[in-house]
Each structure stands twice: as C-alpha cells, then as structure tokens.
Amino acid sequence: GIQVEQSPPDLILQEGANSTLRCNFSDSVNNLQWFHQNPWGQLINLFYIPSGTKQNGRLSATTVATERYSLLYISSSQTTDSGVYFCAVDTGGFKTIFGAGTRLFVKA
Amino acid sequence: DTGVSQDPRHKITKRGQNVTFRCDPISEHNRLYWYRQTLGQGPEFLTYFQNEAQLEKSRLLSDRFSAERPKGSFSTLEIQRTEQGDSAMYLCASSLARAGRLNYGYTFGSGTRLTVV
C-alpha cells in the first residue's frame, strides 16, 4: 500500500520562528489533508489540498502531486501551535492513510 | 450542528467485557469513518460508511469488532471480549462527498479513550 513519510519527526521552535513540515507519499493520491492534533487529542483539519497552494492565516500548504509531496508552512509560530501535525492521503479508495506525524513544541 | 460528537469520552473496562461507542456525525455529511490511534502513532483506518452502507473494513477489524450505522445517521462501534491490546483512542470522523469525491476534508470527533484492565 501507499507509504506516507513525514519529516522532521520532532521540531522545537522559539515563539515567532517559521517552519516547514514535509510529507512525501509513494503513490498518486486523490486527496491530501493536513491535520493538527492538539495536546488534548483533538484532531483539527487544517487543509484539504490534493494539489496547489492554500493559505489560512499564518498557515499555508502546497501540494505538488506530480512529485508526490506536500509542504505545510507555519509562520510566526505561537505556543498554541504545539502538538502533532499529520499528513493524510487517499489513493481513490475509501480509506485515508495517515503519516506518523511531526511533533512540534513551540517555546515561549 | 456543532460538529462530530462521540460518547463516552473515556471508558475503562475489564478484559473480556463488551463495550460500545457511539458517534454522531455532522448531519449533512454522508460519509462516516472509524479510526484507532495508539500512543505516539497516527490514526489507523478501521471502517467506513457511505450513508448506511459499510463499504470497507480494515484487516485490523477482527471478528470481535462490529460497526453499524442504522438509517445513515449515528454509528456504533462494538468490541466484544475486549483484550488489553484494544486499549486505544477510538476516533470517528465524517465528511461530505458527492459524485464519489470528497468536497471537503474530514471533521473528527474528540474520540473515546478505551482502557482495558
């Protein structure tokens, strides 16, 4: 089945810093989503982005489907950005496969 | 409609007991998914419903697991004869899809944390 690799696995930032999270996938995908799981476990959908670029406030995402990767940009990070960021893809079936996540800690 | 609701939030049960979890999706969403997440891992797909039809089940879903979505509304996930390895967070998500394709991303509930002792 499709493999989803996220990097880096762990990231520590000083508040105000910018960062880029990467998601590589091993096969063509129909859909790609980015999620943030907060320290209380709630998964929040950040972007539904099978291709192209989207922006939402300090966050933006770009998916280059032909090269099988997606990037999540976090600018001017805040302590509330801490948590785990997951990339999730599906290949046209009904199940979405999650990567192992990037664990982000933003220091005040 | 405030989102996807899951009940209970926490469940502690003795090994061998049966447990049932409930998920109420966003009312206009036609797809419903169950995932399981263990500590330090990403969510793993368990099963999926399009309206009331269960269209796919993971190999992770042994014979002790069963899921239903009567009338295409809420869904239940039952685990029979629980084992310690079933301890995990069980997540429900819903989405809206037309013409076989997602219109938007998934909305997840807060999950049910199961501890089998």
Least confident of A9-13, A51-55, B56-60: B56-60
Closest partner residue to B110 among A33, A35, A42, by Cβ?
Answer: A42
Q: Does B74 touch chain A (CB under 8 A)?
A: no
DSSP tag of A96: P
A7: chain B residues, CB-CB within 8 Å? none
Q: How far apart are CA A71 and CA A21, in angstroms?
A: 6
The yes-or-no verdict on residue B9 having pLDDT over 70 is yes
Select from A34, A43, A86 the residue whose CB has the most chain B CBs within 10 Å, as the one to mutate to test that interface.
A43
Q: What share of chain B is helix, strand, coil (3-state, %, to 5)?
A: 5, 50, 45
Select from A10, A96, A97, A103 the residue whose CB has the most chain B CBs within 10 Å, as the one to mutate to test that interface.
A96
In the A/B pair of chains, how many CB contacts fall below 8 A? Answer: 57
The separation between CA B57 and the C-alpha centre of its own chain, rounded to angstroms, equals: 11
Q: Which of B17, B89, B52, B25 is nearest to A41 (CA)?
A: B89
B110: chain A residues, CB-CB within 8 Å? 41-42
Residue of A nearest to B112 (CA): A41
Q: What sign has the CA pseudo-torsion A10, A15, A20, A21?
A: positive
User: Average pLDDT, stretch B65-77?
Assistant: 92
Q: What sign has the CA pseudo-torsion A97, A87, B38, B92?
A: negative
The yes-or-no verdict on residue A89 having pLDDT over 90 is yes
pLDDT tens readout for residues B73-110: 899 999 999 999 999 999 999 998 876 666 678 999 99
Residue B100: per-residue pLDDT = 63
Q: How far apart are CA B114 and CA B83, in angstroms?
A: 11
Residue A33: per-residue pLDDT = 95
Give every CB contact of residue A26 below 8 A, 6+ residues apart in sequence. A2, A3, A4, A68
A64 HSE (CA, 13 A, CB side): 5
Closest partner residue to A33 among B31, B91, B105, by Cβ?
Answer: B105
Residue of B nearest to A30 (CA): B101
Residue A62: per-residue pLDDT = 98
Residue B101: per-residue pLDDT = 65
Average pLDDT, chain A: 94
